Amino acid sequence: MDKTYTEKIKRLFYFAWLELKRNLAGVKYFAEADVTDNCNLRCRHCYHFHGKNDFEKKEFTAAEWRKRFKSLHETGVRIIMLVGGEPALRQDVLMLADEIFPIVYVITNGTIRIRDDFKHILFVSLEGGQKINDYIRGEGTFQKTLKNYSGDGRVIINMTLQMENYKELEKVVKIAKDNGFRGVVCNICQSGTHADKVLYQKSVKIREREIIIKEVERVKALYPKDFLISKSMIKWYKKPDHKDGCYWSRECLHFDVSWNKRRCFLKNVDCSNCGCFAGTFQNPLLTALRYPRETKMLV
């Protein structure tokens, strides 16, 4: 039997075991945390720097992170997603997570290569071809990202769709195929926080969301194996209001860099206009069983 296939089966059984413990004993096994508030980019659409003036410039020590991670592991957490800021700025923290948790996911802007012995999935940001991507993320970021990761089988491209770049989706899928990546997933750019009472100027409105989703459906039909968005995920995007909660916010643990708990990637996130890919994924076990192609995102 193919080794990769065997590993996928093992991983599915592992998810099944974790889900069983969650349902029977209430043990939450998935956590998400900012490993730094700092970043080497200032992308135009980034939620992390919107409506927020109090950044934790101080970097916490590796010893502090080890203590935090071990505490999570003791409670039953076995999967962790590391975000920021830019987590590649703290590769010591990434390697600590690798040491403690069986499964680690990282969301990174791709401009700083994460060391090769980190054997976990990397969600690498790309917002279109070179012209559009560099307009959104900064001059030179397109070439730097491809130079760092072309041919790297750890990579899934993570694209945030907005009116400025949604027509680039098919191009990004082709780029992923040409560079040997696992595939492409997407978010839909959403509003800012309740805290500042100001809607993010690039937030996708309802009519714009409908236009974007039509393009998502078109690209999915053309590239069913490489565009890793299932029909149920598209259905989630069609319903923008998720104030009633979701698996991601309800069943996962979320922490900012100071280890304060929050609801999602932001403490005061506006769930009335949700475009979060993590929300669409919902229960990871059921998604993997219903949409086996999307197991590329799990193993």
Structural domains of the chain ordered from first start? 28-297 (3.20.20.70)
pLDDT score at 53: 56
Contacts of residue 299, defined as CB under 8 A and 6 or more positions apart, other chains included, come to 4, 7, 8, 11
8 Å CB contact between 172 and 157: yes
What backbone torsions phi and psi does residue 207 show, to the nearest 5 degrees? Answer: -65, -40
Q: Cα(111)–Cα(114) distance, rounded to whole angstroms?
A: 9
Give me the average pLDDT of each 10-residue run along the chain (299 residues): 70 88 94 94 78 68 98 97 96 98 97 97 97 96 98 97 95 98 91 38 73 97 94 89 87 95 84 87 73 61
pLDDT score at 132: 97
267-to-105, 107, 223, 255, 263 alpha-carbon distances in Å: 20, 18, 35, 9, 5
pLDDT score at 296: 60
pLDDT score at 191: 47
8 Å CB contact between 67 and 19: no
